[in-house]
Amino acid sequence: MSPREHVDESDLHAFVDGELDAENRRRIEDHLHSHAEDAALVEGWRRQNAALRAAFAQTVKEPVPAGLRTASVTSLTRSFGSGVNWARFSPSKGASLRAMRRSDTSRRLPRRPAIVMSLLTLLAGAVVASAALLAFTGPASPPAPVQRAVIEPPGLVAHAQLAYQTFAQDSRPVEIGADRKAELSTWLGERAGFGRLPDLSAAGLELIGGRLVPGVLSPAGLLIYQSSSNARAALYFERAGGEHPSAAPPKTAPGLAAVEWRAVGFAFVLIGPLAAEAARAAAESAAAQASR
């Protein structure tokens, strides 16, 4: 590129942003020596840059919240080629669910859900407002039909949690008990599309049975397991496209841990009053058997 005579504003920006090669840099420097107005402009942008960087300099020095550090590092993701969401009710302290259960959870209401709720409220308000707007402005722009192949949050984990809370503690938690495994497997296979009954005994959980439950978009399966201390966990599964878990990190009720993943055309959620490591171990075991 031969050096040009003219210097236009885009050259000055490119100069400030280090986009120029040595030759053009010299050309602009020469130009700035003889054009005070442009030199002032360049100087102004540099001050602007410095102010911007200074305003956010503190952010990079802050410790990264634990929730973000673990977001990408999960062996499940690597082993099964699908994403995993680790639900935690206190993202900054993902540590010990047991410790949380011991403490008085009502006194430690996390702030974040409150913020999420107010955001949701805002969002709901915006939706109502735009719906009203649409209704009053007539049929000029009919809303496009929403086709969702992938279940979006908060649908799936919240739904699995509801199914868990509805059935797990019920006096009749399952429709078909583990003594009729073949029947259960056939039933769920026909209706929910997935008939395997993962054996989680390695994670200390014995299958007590399962049932068909309404899913977010289609019939879903709920398998209920019980630990030696009589704690009940559930594996929820529903047909779902996509390889990625819900975009937002799901939140569970205090005391419950959930792990969400996608594989073989299904969304899975393992949920129960488990410690984080136990939930993870159980989910890994279930995922291995489901994908086999």
Only segment of 45-53, 169-177, 207-215, 277-285 that touches other proteins (CB under 8 A): 45-53
User: What is the layout of strands, in order, in the sheet containing 257-263?
Assistant: 84-87, 257-263, 266-272, 232-239, 219-227, 205-214, 176-177
Name the residue nearer to other proteins (CB basis): 116 or 208.
116
Amino acid residing at 269: V
- Any idea what the Cα angle at residue 204 is, between residues 199 and 210, rounded to 5°? 45
Report the sign of the C-alpha dihedral through residues 183, 184, 189, 195, in that order. negative
End-to-end CA distance of the chain: 59
The residues near 275 (Cβ < 8 Å, ≥ 6 apart) are 96, 97, 98, 257
Binding mask 94-133 for other proteins (x = CB under 8 A): ------------------x--xx--x--xx--x-------
What residues are paired with 236 via a beta bridge?
222, 269
Name the residue nearer to other proteins (CB basis): 69 or 180.
69
Binder of other proteins out of 1, 2, 3, 6 (CB under 8 A)? 6
Binder of other proteins out of 245, 250, 272, 273 (CB under 8 A)? 245
151: which 2 tokens? 């279940």
The residues near 104 (Cβ < 8 Å, ≥ 6 apart) are none
Binder of other proteins out of 26, 29, 78, 132 (CB under 8 A)? 78
Binder of other proteins out of 29, 30, 68, 152 (CB under 8 A)? 68
User: Residue 16 CB, nearest distance to other proteins (Å)?
Assistant: 9
Regarding 77 and contact with other proteins (CB under 8 A), the answer is yes
Q: Which residues bind other proteins (CB under 8 A)?
A: 6-10, 12-14, 17, 19, 35, 37-38, 40-41, 44-45, 48-49, 51-53, 55-56, 59-62, 64-65, 67-69, 71-73, 77-78, 81-83, 85, 112, 115-116, 119, 122-123, 126, 243-245, 247-249
